[in-house]
């Protein structure tokens, strides 16, 4: 799926409710436009046997930037509407790397990829080929964001590499430079081999 050129044009806005660090949309029009057409959000069963759309913070930021979602502080219409900056501040309390992840997320979407939430534990995004159906097709890439100030142990990278190999997907390490530009590194195979040097100390290569 590619991003539409007229995404900034005037379109319907949908009200959401903030719950436990996510946003819930119940409007059928929102489900059709965001989930069915743009692959945004996750469908879950609602209490009235219908469906509700659950948005992760990154997806909320995307829809806020496009002026497609309405959210009020404390879900109270008598209080101010959230704008993009206030939403970013609010959701950053749950993930201090949210802004950097959003930069990667938006860059991948602008490149025409379908981007879905990952497995967790480091794999933040699943990326599908252009034109894929994420409900039927398998993801092609696992995106593992790594940022300055958050060192990654070699054994953790080794574990991620094994997860990718076992699922027949490509592991991509993504980072953001000081100019807020995303950079991607392909990890085809990563192994840690313990050896013992002459002093009896183990080291890895």
Statement: residue 197 has pLDDT above 80: no
Asked whether residue 194 is assigned to any structural domain, the reply reads: no
47 and 122 housed in the same domain:
no
Per-residue pLDDT at 195: 41
Are 204 and 154 within 8 A, CB to CB? yes
> In the chain, what percentage of residues exceed pLDDT 70?
87
Mean pLDDT of 181-202: 60
Are 114 and 176 in a shared domain? yes
Last residue of one domain, picked from the residues 41, 72, 92? 92
Domain shared by 87 and 111, yes or no = no
Task: Find the mean pLDDT for residues 139-163.
Answer: 84
Residues 110 and 80 in one domain: no
**Domain extent for 50:** 14-92
Domain boundary among 28, 62, 92: 92
CA-to-CA distance for 158 and 161, rounded, in angstroms?
Answer: 5
pLDDT at 190: 56
152 has a pLDDT exceeding 80: no
- For position 82, which CATH number holds? 3.40.1170.20
Residue 196 predicted with pLDDT over 50: no
**What is residue 34's predicted lDDT score, i.e. its pLDDT?**
96
Average of per-residue pLDDT values in the chain: 85
Residue 87 pLDDT: 97
Q: Is residue 118 part of a domain?
A: yes
Q: pLDDT digit string (tens) for 51-106?
A: 999 999 999 999 999 999 999 999 999 999 999 999 999 999 999 999 999 999 99
Nearest to 12 by CA among 28, 25, 30, 24: 30
**Residue 1's pLDDT is what?**
37
* Structure confidence at residue 129 as a pLDDT band (50, 70, 90): confident
d(CA 159, CA 123): 11
- pLDDT average, residue stretch 175-180: 90
Q: What is the pLDDT of residue 122?
A: 83
* Structure confidence at residue 199 as a pLDDT band (50, 70, 90): very low
Examine residue 43 and state whether it is found in any structural domain, yes or no.
yes
DSSP 110-152: HTT-EEEEEEETTEEEEEE-TT--TTTSPPSEEEEE--TT---
69 and 130 part of one domain: no
| Residue 150 to residue 127: CA distance in whole angstroms | 23
Residue 2 belongs to a domain:
no
Question: At CA 126, angle to CA 143 and CA 120, rounded to 5?
Answer: 75
Same domain for 80 and 29: yes
Cα 16 to Cα 70: distance, rounded to the nearest angstrom: 6
Residues 62, 113 within the same domain:
no
CATH number of the domain at 148, please: 3.40.1350.150
């Amino acid at each position: 799926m590619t991003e539409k050129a007229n995404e900034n044009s005037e379109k319907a806005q949908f009200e959401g409710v903030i719950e436990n660090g996510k946003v819930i949309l119940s409007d059928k029009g929102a489900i059709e436009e965001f989930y069915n057409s743009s692959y945004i959000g996750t469908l879950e069963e609602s209490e009235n046997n219908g469906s509700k759309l659950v948005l992760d913070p990154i997806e909320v930021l995307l829809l806020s930037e496009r002026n497609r979602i309405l959210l009020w502080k404390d879900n109270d219409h008598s209080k101010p509407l959230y704008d993009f900056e206030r939403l970013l501040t609010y959701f950053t309390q749950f993930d201090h790397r949210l802004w950097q992840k959003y930069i990667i997320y938006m860059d991948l979407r602008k490149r025409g990829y379908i981007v879905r939430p990952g497995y967790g534990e480091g794999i933040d995004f699943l990326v599908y080929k252009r034109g894929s159906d994420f409900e039927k097709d398998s993801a092609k890439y696992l995106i593992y964001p790594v940022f300055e100030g958050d060192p990654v142990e070699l054994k953790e990278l080794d574990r991620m590499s094994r997860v990718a190999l076992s699922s027949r997907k490509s592991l991509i390490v993504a980072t953001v430079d000081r100019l807020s530009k995303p950079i991607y590194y392909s990890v085809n195979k990563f192994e840690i081999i313990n050896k013992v040097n002459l002093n009896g100390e183990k080291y890895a290569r």
